[in-house]
Structure 1
Amino acid sequence: MLSKRGVDIQNATKVTDIGFAKCLADPYNAESNPNGIINAGTSENTISCDIVAEKLSQVEPLFNKDVDILRYHDYTGLTSFKNTLCTFLTKHAKAHKQLDQNNLVVLNGCGSCLAALSLVLSDPGDEWLTMTPYSPVVKESVEGIPLTDIFYGDLCSQTSGENGKPFQLTVDMLEDALGQATQKDINIRGLFLINPHNPLGDIYSKQLLMDCLHFAKRHGLHVIVDEIYMLSVFDEEAEFTSVLSLEDLPDPDRTHFTWSFSKDFSISGLRCGVIYSWNKEILSAVAGVAYWFALPTVVQVTLNSMLCDEEWVAQTYLPTNRKRLRNAHEIMSKGLTRLGIPHLARSAGLYIWADFRKNFCLLQTGLINTKVATGVYEAEMEMFYELIDAGVYITPGQGFYCKEPGWFRIVFALPRDVQDQVLHRIGTVIEMKRKKSMKPKEIMCNSLLTK
């Protein structure tokens, strides 16, 4: 018999779980299973795995070399690996001074890093502030073991001002969301920032990042800046500012950085995440729970060997990966344009935020009432399943808690032939919808609007 919490966990099926499970059950393979489901919904970089696999294959056999790796070690990470990581992050995050390995913790994935920080920074029932749409991993990480939750405000696709852009974050929006939480007597412990953003692909300017950090300081909030896509900025003209590079942090004791190998190094299966914090008390508390999130020593030794080859990292892997991402993004963006699907063309990440709303009845309009929203969310899920039936999984916006039904995230970090299949299968579903007569569609729209 499950506990109440066990029942809640068992019943907490998310749309991302559904899509991923269907891909695992019937995976696409051009030769052995060409009618299988293509996974363009899970944020993985599959176009640079070959470079990393070749490099890791050159690592000397570990167990013939050092039996010490079979023993217990510091659960926050091997000292040698932490030193290597500090050298790596100092260089590639353009830190203003050499990072200190005593401020760094290694855990088994970025989700574990978020969970560990939430666990030591908040009590059950507390909530963390962020803005929708946002990565569901954030909510999953703070809900599970820490028993906290997310309080969010909503970004919208409508632009305002001469330089406005869809889903643009402002500090005024954060202030409004925090004010709403205060009115509801919700204790907000901190702010989550995802930079570069998932699913939007936005890169926060230095000014916006500093404004958000000042906002958090004014209200005594911790800030966790997740930079898991830090090295997946593929536009050569784009400027990325890591929180590690800021010399004048408004509140260093409440500012924390997370990163992982998963996205930037195409190795999500090795589960290695990093926390960097300037607060010794918090680091001590994280060390106290690291036993449950520890990374196997063999993985640390393997990744340490890879990172120690600084020439390979800087001259081979990173520039090649960025070029491949840039080309893959261009292919997907042009393909979506040919299909008549508007989308945000951004400079970072592994995905494109695409607007399928014209395939529903509320083209370019806001939500009028809850019944309308519910009906269009149902239409969004209907299209999700139609795409699955056509052999492609892309993630609907409700998987990212987006308030506007009709947006989907499409992962473009796929080989060219697989991208072609993704676009073909999406186009098949759109064509099927276009062939439906206009009169029934108009009737459906009017029905939704008058209920």
Structure 2
Amino acid sequence: MLSKRSATVQDAGSVVNIGFDKCVANPYDAESNPNGIINAGTAENTISYDIVAEKLFTVEQPSKNDIDVLKYQDFTGLSAFKNTLCSFLTKHAKAHDQLDPDKLFVVNGCGSCITALSIVLSDPGDAWLLATPCYPAIKEDVGKIPLTEIVHVDLCSQTSGENGKPFQLTVDKLEDALEQATQKGINVRGLILINPHNPLGDIYSKELLMDCLHFAKRYQLHVIVDEIYMFSVFDDDAEFTSVLSLEDLPDPDRTHFAWSFSKDFSMSGIRCGVIYTWNTDVASALAGVAYWFAIPTAMQVTLNSMLCDEEWVAQTYLQTNRKRLRDAHEVMSKGLTKLGIPHLVRSAGLYIWADFRKLVSPLTFEAEMEVFYELIDAGVYITPGQGFYCKEPGWFRIVFALPRDIQDQVLHRIGTYFEMRRKR
């Protein structure tokens, strides 16, 4: 009874969804359900909800006389909101030039940014290069509606060279992946960069970012730079370079920016993302599909009022959130170290990439799933590496952007499980 297309859009039951569903079915609550499952697998910033909630309830809301919010508006975004977003990103992303509202698009979430760009930049059957391990839903973002594929650029934990680090992206790895895909007859249309990276927490240096952009120019590839964690860089000494800030983009007509409020402003449920493109033809094409990606006018009015309070954005929210993330990361990192669990210590994101390989025996993806399910039975959901297309079994992503008492419970439950596992 269903169309052939329906098979491509139905949920395949990934480990990410399995863990989330189990948390929803049996959520932890210190008082009402202390034996429930703690969600340390979904990348949500829960430690700054209070700041955002207080602001959203006090900013200017559409009034009963503001009838315009009930009418059709520009599906690319309200003019006032787009102007505010351009000012906000120009300032806080340190954009080289003042952003142009005609090249900025408001869509319903960062996933929709990737989908909309994939629709206008690629054809069904085309492919995108993506370094893995990676945020897994991008496969769905480019696959379910645009009907394109992902070509994995597999990164590994082994280091090479004097300054090498685990899971390091290099242009040589991009070259190899592109060559292999081409030999298989795959038409690679572009490259997707996630910076800061999910799940690694890496921040790409300006040099690496430029190298990747020059690589893309050589092969006439589009580049989508997903900077959804750009304001979740919590180490004061870390240097983040937004693609918006680059003075000499190698190929501006094929370079596109994506961001949303979901992570950096603790608003996953608000569903508001932003696309910026330097290409006027791409901008025209995005305007043609904007109808399907629009967000409610009233929500744009509310978010616009929030961003217009520049003192609150800079001094109250971003500054406080950065400190809270830094403190929470330190708690989780020290806790994992005390438990003897190796992990990458990075400066951005809401999560830690942890090495559970000594616990996964034999070192297979099947055994990794066994550990995943046993941890859920122990009352904590963390995401196994295979959920991020990691080529090496035994790695897990642990979200640390949790209240301190929840973090303590996560560490306690993982520690108890480790001890039980060691005694087998």
TM-score between the two structures when normalised by the length of structure 1: 0.93
**Residue 157 (structure 1) shift:** 0.3
Structure 2 gaps of 5+ residues are none
Measured after TM superposition, the shift of residue 9 of structure 1 is 3.1
2:28 maps to 28
Q: What is the rounded CA distance, in whole Å, between the counterparts of 1:11 and 1:206 in structure 2?
A: 37
What is the SS of the residue equivalent to 2:172?
helix
Letter in 2 for 1:301: V
* Corresponding residue of 2:388: 400
Distance 1:167 1:159 in 2: 8
Q: 1:263 to 1:65 in 2, by over 3 A?
A: farther
| Residues in 1 aligned to 2:324 and 2:107: alpha-carbon distance in whole angstroms | 29
Letter of the aligned partner of 1:397 in structure 2? Answer: G
Taking the aligned partners of 2:360 and 2:139, their CA distance within structure 1 comes to: 28
Q: CA deviation at 1:290?
A: 1.1
Which amino acid counterpart does residue 409 of structure 1 have in structure 2?
R
Match of 1:74 in 2: 74
Match of 1:411 in 2: 399
Report the Cα distance in structure 1 between the residues aligned to 2:11 and 2:133, rounded to whole angstroms: 23
Task: Please give the root-mean-square deviation of Cα atoms over the aligned residues, in Å.
Answer: 1.0
Could you say which structure has the higher helix fraction?
A: 1
Change over 3 Å in CA distance of 1:210–1:110 after alignment to 2: same
Structure 1 unmatched runs, 5+: 363-374, 437-451
1:430 and 2:422 equivalent? no
Letter in 1 for 2:228: I
Q: How does 1:38-117 map to 2 (within 5 A)?
A: 38-117=38-117
| Number of the residue aligned with 1:307 | 307
Q: CA deviation at 1:63?
A: 3.6
User: What is the rounded CA distance, in whole Å, between the counterparts of 2:201 and 2:101 in structure 1?
Assistant: 30
CA distance in 2, matches of 1:343, 1:235: 17
Aligned-partner Cα distance in 2 for 1:309–1:158: 46
- Cα deviation for residue 65 of structure 1 reads 4.5
Q: 2:135 — aligned with what?
A: 135
Offset from partner CA, 1:164-221 (integer Å, 9 cap, x none): 1000111001000000001101000000000000000000000000000000000000
Q: Which residue of 2 aligns with 1:441?
A: none
One-letter identity of the residue aligned with 1:230: M
Q: Using a 3 Å threshold, how does the CA distance of structure 1 residues 356 and 333 change in structure 2: closer, same or farther?
A: same
Share of identical aligned residues, percent? 78
Q: How does 1:1-16 map to 2 (within 5 A)?
A: 1-10=1-10, 12-16=12-16
Q: After TM superposition, which residue ranges in structure 1, 4 or more long, deviate above 6 angstroms?
A: none
In structure 2, distance between residues paired with 1:298 and 1:424 = 43
AA aligned opposite 1:26:
N
Output the amino acid matched with 1:178: L
Match for 1:38: what amino acid? I
CA separation in 2, counterparts of 1:344 and 1:216?
28
SS state of the match for residue 62, structure 1?
Answer: coil
How far did 1:414 drift?
0.1
Deviations along 1:110-141, whole A, 9 cap, x unmatched?
Answer: 00010000011111111100111011121110
Match of 2:181? 181
Partner of 1:195 in structure 2?
A: 195
Partner of 2:296: 296
The code of the aligned residue for 2:368 comes to E
**3-state SS, counterpart of residue 196 of structure 1:** coil
Trace 1:28-427 onto structure 2 (pairs within 5 A). Answer: 28-361=28-361, 376-427=364-415
Alignment coverage as a number of residue pairs: 424
